[in-house]
Amino acid sequence: FIYDPITSKLGPLPWDGFDENNIYDRKERIFRLADSYHEPTYFFWKRMFADLEFKKKYLSYIEEVTAPGYVEKMLDQLKEPIAQYHLALKEDYPLYPFARDHQELINNAKLLRDTYLNPLNALTHHPVQKTKDSDMITLMVANKLVVPIEVTKLTVGDRSIEPVNENILTEIEYKTNRLHYQTFKIPNTLIHGKADIKLTYNILGTSFKGTYKVKPF
């Protein structure tokens, strides 16, 4: 998409990848949260996605527009103007298979949803640490996804620890795959028997939820 400075809104930008002989379909260009444009030289792009509220809203719309049936519904609602655009474009690109675009939109929506909004196997952790002179234990957890995760609840056995401070788990770092660990403090008095430590979380800005269990020691 592009930023329109007149309306202060973002608008879709078509991918121009056809030369009458080949279609250059670059799937990586649909993954804007893990894109080469995040290099420091692309200051505006990087700064925009560094804003957590923007990223939260961005992911909420990804959930909406990639929902099963959404693309098909929109294509049906817009079929008349789409047909008119196709007629105009065929003047310059008579060999382009326009019907292919509809299926590609559906395929890309599923690919985005499966990649960004899949909460499975999302977290990892360091072994729980306990010191003799402290009444707390330390749990260090990292996010393995390319999207931020929000921890909504931390429980030990049937006991809930509220509130969860600093509960946003930053996504894995682009290119280097560096993990960013977040520390959670848990009172020693809550650790007894074989009770699991459990984190309940969701992908930031979406309804996609998951749980992660940790054995205390």
Q: What is the CATH number of the domain that holds 204?
A: 2.60.40
Task: Report in angstroms the alpha-carbon separations of 121 from 109, 188, 212.
Answer: 21, 27, 9
Domain, as residue range, for 209 = 123-214
71 with 160, same domain: the answer is no
Q: How far is CA 160 from the centre of its chain?
A: 27
Q: Give pLDDT, residue 48.
A: 77
Residue 175: alpha-carbon gap to chain centroid: 16
Query: What are the C-alpha distances in Å from 95 to residues 89, 92, 147?
Result: 10, 9, 38
- Give the domain-ending residue among 64, 90, 116: 116
Mark whether 20 and 71 lie in a shared domain. Answer: yes
| Residue-level pLDDT at 19 | 66
Q: Please indicate, yes or no, whether residues 6 and 24 belong to a single structural domain of this protein.
A: yes
Residues 9-67 have pLDDT tens digits of 877 666 666 666 666 665 655 666 655 555 555 666 677 778 889 889 989 999 999 99
User: Is the domain of 105 the same as that of 56?
Assistant: yes
Question: Do 146 and 196 belong to one domain?
Answer: yes
137 and 40 share one domain? no
Per the prediction, the chain carries an average pLDDT of 81
Cβ(170)–Cβ(206) below 8 Å: no
Q: Are residues 91 and 141 in the same domain?
A: no
Asked if residue 148 and residue 175 are part of one domain, the reply reads yes
Q: Indicate the pLDDT class of residue 196, thresholds 50, 70 and 90.
A: confident
47/138 same-domain check = no
| 140 shares a domain with 110 | no
Which of 83, 116, 149 corresponds to the end of one domain? 116
pTM of this structure:
0.79
Domain total for the chain?
A: 2
